[in-house]
Copies of this chain bind each other. A is one copy, B any other.
Amino acid sequence: MKLAVIGSGNIGKSIGSWAAKVGYEVIFSAKNEANAAAAALAAGNGATSASPAKAVKSADLVLYAAPYGGAQDILSELKSALKGKVLIDASNPLAADFSGLTVGFTSSAAEEIAKLVPGTKVVKAFNTVFAKVYDSQNPEISGKKISVFYAGDDENAKKTVAELISKMGFDAVNSGPLASARNIEPLAMLNIALGYGLGYGTSVGFSFNR
């Protein structure tokens, strides 16, 4: 399974590295191709890098791990390459000062991204866990498995994403249609508020116990 990662920030690098480790053929990409090449080198496990357009073209699965603010610019150029593919949206529509979200209630980052790339199967996932946790390549915190919530409107696309989540060792929680991102993105905001503002740090995460 070929996974293209768009964005070589902390989230893209850490999820991409982990995916490569558990057997995905990972292609890192970024506006700055040198950053993508460095991410591939650091990841090892056969990871490569390419321009976003090339990475998406050859991939089965695409992870959007760039800031939400850049989505319109980045994705409008990839629109036709993304058609028919599964696009994981790991972004959060954070205000510049981290004080809250810029989209919500009547929409979500995931739904806005889906509007930018018609014909692409968008799945919200990976947005409620800190990069530090992905970087640890350990899906547990204090011995408890962290949950990754995924939501989308295409059941097969969701299965593909759930498989990646499970292969990384996380607890995959089917959270319904893409509009559920309206609840999952505020959970990320709560996580960020707890981690940064309230002193719990970033080696933290939620479990959905049942």
Contacts and interface: CB of A to CB of B under 8 A. Distances in A.
A208 to B, nearest CB: 6
A144 interface: yes
Number of copies: 2
Contacts of A200: 208, 210
Interface stretch (A42-50, A161-169, A171-179): A171-179
A143 to B, nearest CB: 9
A67 interface: no
Contacts of A198: 174-176
Interface in A184-199: 184, 186-187, 189-190, 193-194, 197-198
Given A190-B149, A190-B184, A208 B197 contact: no
A197 to B, nearest CB: 6
Interface residues on A, range: 35 or more
A183 B176 contact: no
B203 A193 contact: no
A187 B189 CA distance: 11
A186 B104 CA distance: 10
Contacts of A149: 190
Given A144-B207, A182-B186, 15 more contacts: A104-B105, A105-B105, A141-B210, A142-B210, A175-B190, A175-B193, A175-B194, A176-B198, A183-B186, A194-B208, A203-B210, A204-B208, A204-B209, A205-B208, A207-B209
Interface of A: 100-101, 104-106, 141-142, 144, 146, 149, 173-176, 180, 182-184, 186-187, 189-190, 193-194, 197-198, 200-201, 203-210
